[in-house]
Amino acid sequence: MKKEILSDEPINKPEEDILGRESFAKNLADSLISWKEEKSLIIGLLGKWGSGKTSVINLTEYFLKDILRSQTKEKNKPIVIKFNPWGYSQTEDLLISFINQLYSSIKDNKKIRKLTKVIKKYINFFKEIKPQKTINTVLTITALVFTILGISLSHIFQQSPEMVNSLTKRTIISLAIYAVVYFSWRCLACILTRQDKLPISEIKEEISNIIIKNKIRMIIIIDDIDRLTSVEIKQLFRIIRINADFPNTIYLLSFDRNIAEKSLTVQDTISGHDYLEKIINIEYDLPGISQFKLEKYFKNNLEKLISALPDNTANIFETDNKKWSQIHSIIISELSSIRNIKRYFNSISFKINQFIKENVLEINLVDFLGIELIRLKYPDCYSFIRDNKQWFISDKMLKDEPGAKEKGTYAKWYKDNVQKFGSTTNEKNNINIIITEIFPITFFGSKNIQINSLFNKSEIDATNSIASERFFDIYFDHISSISDEECSNYDAQRIKAVSNDYDALKTLLREYINNNKIHSLLDLLEKHSIEGDLIPKDNYLSYFAALFDIINEIPDGHERLQFGNDTIIHRIVYFLIRFNDKYENADLFEKLIENTEDPFMCCDFIENEINNYKEQKEELVARNRIPYLQQKMVKKIYEYRDKLLDSKYFIRMLYFWRKNDFASYQRYIYDLASDINKLLRAIERTFYLSYSKSNDGTEKAKKEIRYDDVKLLGDLENIRNRLHLIRFGNGELYRTNKEIINLFLDNYEKDGVAKKILIKK
């Protein structure tokens, strides 16, 4: 993703204005040009920090220059002088810097050379005050040293009279040296501050007379006042007060009233408000930003962000529509200025690259936008969430935390720890809304209500939510916390990209099998199926067919929990088609039966639909189409008969075959039983693992055999006799199939299978 950092620099031209302040700046410029009074005027442009005062100042200056350029015949056009005190703060004397700026702005104007000479005097007057101040400082320090020395001498005199004669001589010499130095420095000070210079009042009067006589007009713009320190703000307003009486002069000052008033307040003597009232003649409040314009600016930047992100990122706003509508309104209310919005999006743009893997966004964008607002506005709250992970993501905290049996424990924890963040009621409310939206568990816990379907763990994982155990740390660490064995949104998007191409998808699925990530991938695909937002409907045929045809290649994973690979794939399909038209689903399965190589998953679905009909459960396929699909399924199994033994689901397909076409099934079993090698392989398909724990807690796996399944292959006693003869003969066939034969025969006798058969007979 290409980073597009929003410049925090103020605008300079009308075409850059997005807040509609152009007309305000133009009218202000017209008013400044139109002012013809001789008396000076001080205007305050007031606005909060970051509200765009400098942009308005720049636009005003632009229109001032534009108007002046158009007044070709106008005489005595005002001189526009801009002074930014922030550039001089803490480096030079602001007064001298201010007058220097005044001098620099008019020195090249040949028509007012006389004024430039007098202003030069004005500058020199203040510059020459500095040496005298330095001298006085030196003298003061020297006097202090000698005073201390005098005290020391007095002390010594009292303690040791015998030393008086010696010390008295030294003291007299020291005092004499001090007297010479003092009078020498005073003479030098007089020379440096020559009395032939005009006093300040006369210099100012001379400047005023020249301005009036030559009809000189000046517009002095001073910006960034509220960036100065408190001491510097006081100094600047003293400068303005000292020079405010120059005629034909307008001052346009830009500052935050609250900051200025706090800096100008002198304890209880005089308030900053009253101080400003005496200086400022006219106040302009900066035009506010309408909610509409603020939202439009936010939306434009969000669209730019999304356009630079991987495809379909915008879909998350539709998936999490309710969540986004809540978070969006909070973000707008918290980012109440253009500067704040720029800062917010700059942070988002800079960080979000950390979450993109091969053009796939690995996080939930809505959650990230919410948590990033908390980080910027309420960093203490952000740190608290990061350090208390389980309280925000796990429903166990509603049940297992100390004292959970006492009603309202979580709600109390939430109130005491989370709702303390924020200074105002509105801020606390905003924080609460964002947290309860992106962390569903907090919604139930804080309100002390029972968890319902809104807390869907599958949905939380599928959407890469911050509330997911797997993804939480990523949002705070900015690096993937997912292990190499786990799959993420990147993998889901890879599947989606080739979901319309059966061969490509099958190849990709085999890659996940070889990398031992197929089980994680299937879990992820199931979660996405619940959401139904990953695979386009037009791609269902190729998507399902590829999943169906790799079922036998997937290593066992969840079988111990009776939740095998077939169950997961069945659920993936179920969640995607459950709301489809039943006839549409019937057409889909007809095509799947025709196009898949491995018939098992289609067989499983048809069998499931037959059972749903019998048990009056939810049906996916139109009932009157089931018989037709049964016939096609039997035909498919028959065509697949030579490969049937290769399937891990051989026995389950035999059950379906026997139930739906006994005659063709019986012919198949006859042919199979006549080939002892095929029969042995078929018996092996009836094996399963059972697990038990020993006394020391060690878990052991043991192979077992299902004799009911073996009955599908023929008469048990007949099979037992054939295997017994093979073992008795101890030939090559026995040695090759020793495990199968022994397991069948040993358990046959041990479990009393033979006795059960005799009883039945």
pLDDT tens by residue, 7-36:
557 888 888 887 778 888 999 999 998 888
Side chain identity, residue 203: I
CB count in 10 Å sphere of residue 128 = 13
Confidence of residue 418 (pLDDT cuts 50, 70, 90): very high
Distance separating alpha carbons of residues 565 and 604, to the nearest angstrom = 12
- Is residue 534 assigned to a domain? no
CB 522 within 8 A of CB 568: yes
Which residue has 């890469």 as its token pair?
464
Q: Which residues of 288-309 are buried (b: 16+ CB within 10 A; e: fewer)?
A: ebeeeebeebbeebbeebeeeb
CB 568 within 8 A of CB 526: yes
User: In Å, how far are 546, 620, 666 from 607, measured between CA atoms?
Assistant: 20, 12, 19
* pLDDT at residue 49 is higher than 70: yes
Q: For the chain, what is the domain count?
A: 4
Phi and psi at residue 81, to the nearest 5°: -120, 125
Radius of gyration of the chain (CA): 44
Q: Are strands 699-705 and 687-693 parallel, antiparallel or unpaired?
A: antiparallel
Of 285, 306, 335, the residue at which a domain comes to its end is: 285
Residues 305 and 443 in one domain: yes
Which stretch of DSSP H or E encloses residue 253?
strand 249-255
Select from 37, 112, 50 the least CA-distant residue to 81: 112
Full DSSP string of 506-542: HHHHHHHHHTT-HHHHHHHHHHHHHHT-SS-GGGHHH
Residues 307 and 362 in one domain: yes
Strands (E), 443-496: none
Residues 221 and 340 in one domain: no
Distance separating alpha carbons of residues 237 and 244, to the nearest angstrom = 10
User: In Å, how far are 82, 310, 564 from 459, measured between CA atoms?
Assistant: 59, 21, 21
pTM as predicted: 0.58
- Is residue 225 assigned to a domain? yes
- Is residue 149 assigned to a domain? yes
Distance separating alpha carbons of residues 377 and 371, to the nearest angstrom = 10
Residues 6+ apart with CB under 8 A from 59: 11, 12, 13, 14, 17, 21, 22, 25, 26
Residues 219 and 72 in one domain: yes
Residues 354 and 445 in one domain: yes
Distance separating alpha carbons of residues 91 and 78, to the nearest angstrom = 30
Q: Please list the residues that pair with 249 across neighbouring strands.
A: 218
Residues 381 and 435 in one domain: yes
Of 192, 211, 234, the residue at which a domain comes to its end is: 192
Side chain identity, residue 376: L
Side-chain-side CA neighbours of residue 465 (13 Å): 28
- Is residue 212 assigned to a domain? yes
CB 692 within 8 A of CB 642: no
- For the segment 640-647, the average pLDDT, to the nearest whole number, is 94
Select from 641, 484, 649, 476 the least CA-distant residue to 565: 649
Is 91 or 526 the better-scoring residue by pLDDT? 526
Residues 460 and 386 in one domain: yes
* pLDDT at residue 287 is higher than 80: no
- Is residue 559 assigned to a domain? no
Residues 689 and 729 in one domain: yes
Distance separating alpha carbons of residues 749 and 741, to the nearest angstrom = 12
Q: Please list the residues that pair with 283 across neighbouring strands.
A: 44
Residues 258 and 350 in one domain: no
User: In Å, how far are 68, 216, 228 from 76, measured between CA atoms?
Assistant: 10, 6, 34
Phi and psi at residue 45, to the nearest 5°: -100, 110
At 703-748, the pLDDT tens digits run: 889 999 999 999 999 999 999 999 988 789 999 999 999 999 988 8
Distance separating alpha carbons of residues 761 and 755, to the nearest angstrom = 10
What is the model's pLDDT at position 267?
A: 60
CB 499 within 8 A of CB 538: no
Distance separating alpha carbons of residues 607 and 617, to the nearest angstrom = 13
Residues 26 and 77 in one domain: yes
Confidence of residue 154 (pLDDT cuts 50, 70, 90): very low
Is 194 or 287 the better-scoring residue by pLDDT? 287
Residues 6+ apart with CB under 8 A from 305: 345, 348, 349, 352
At 314-358, the pLDDT tens digits run: 666 766 678 888 898 899 889 888 888 888 998 888 888 888 877
- For the segment 76-87, the average pLDDT, to the nearest whole number, is 79
Distance separating alpha carbons of residues 190 and 374, to the nearest angstrom = 63
CB 583 within 8 A of CB 575: no
Residues 303 and 335 in one domain: yes
> Which pair of structure tokens corresponds to residue 134?
């330095």
> Which pair of structure tokens corresponds to residue 608?
């499931």
Domain span at residue 715 reads 675-761
Distance separating alpha carbons of residues 22 and 27, to the nearest angstrom = 9
- Is residue 86 assigned to a domain? yes
Q: Is the dihedral of CA 302, 303, 308, 311 positive or negative?
A: positive
* pLDDT at residue 592 is higher than 90: yes
- Is residue 609 assigned to a domain? no
- Kindly give the residue spans of alpha helices, DSSP state H, lying in 109-199: 113-127, 129-159, 164-192
Which residue has 């013809």 as its token pair?
36
CB 453 within 8 A of CB 345: no
Which residue has 């006549």 as its token pair?
674
Confidence of residue 132 (pLDDT cuts 50, 70, 90): very low
Confidence of residue 761 (pLDDT cuts 50, 70, 90): very low
- For the segment 635-658, the average pLDDT, to the nearest whole number, is 94
CB 592 within 8 A of CB 609: no
Side-chain-side CA neighbours of residue 75 (13 Å): 3
Which of helix, strand or coil describes residue 701? strand
Angle subtended at Cα 343 by Cα 338 and Cα 348, rounded to the nearest 5 degrees? 125
At 161-210, the pLDDT tens digits run: 555 455 455 555 555 555 555 555 555 555 444 444 556 677 777 777 77
Side chain identity, residue 331: I
> Which pair of structure tokens corresponds to residue 159?
């303690």
CB 406 within 8 A of CB 399: no
- Is residue 487 assigned to a domain? no
Of 477, 508, 543, the residue at which a domain comes to its end is: 477
* pLDDT at residue 479 is higher than 70: no
**Residues found in the chain:** 761
At 364-399, the pLDDT tens digits run: 899 999 999 999 999 999 999 998 988 898 877 676
Residues 339 and 427 in one domain: yes
CATH of the domain at 71: 3.40.50
Residues 6+ apart with CB under 8 A from 50: 337, 338, 339, 340
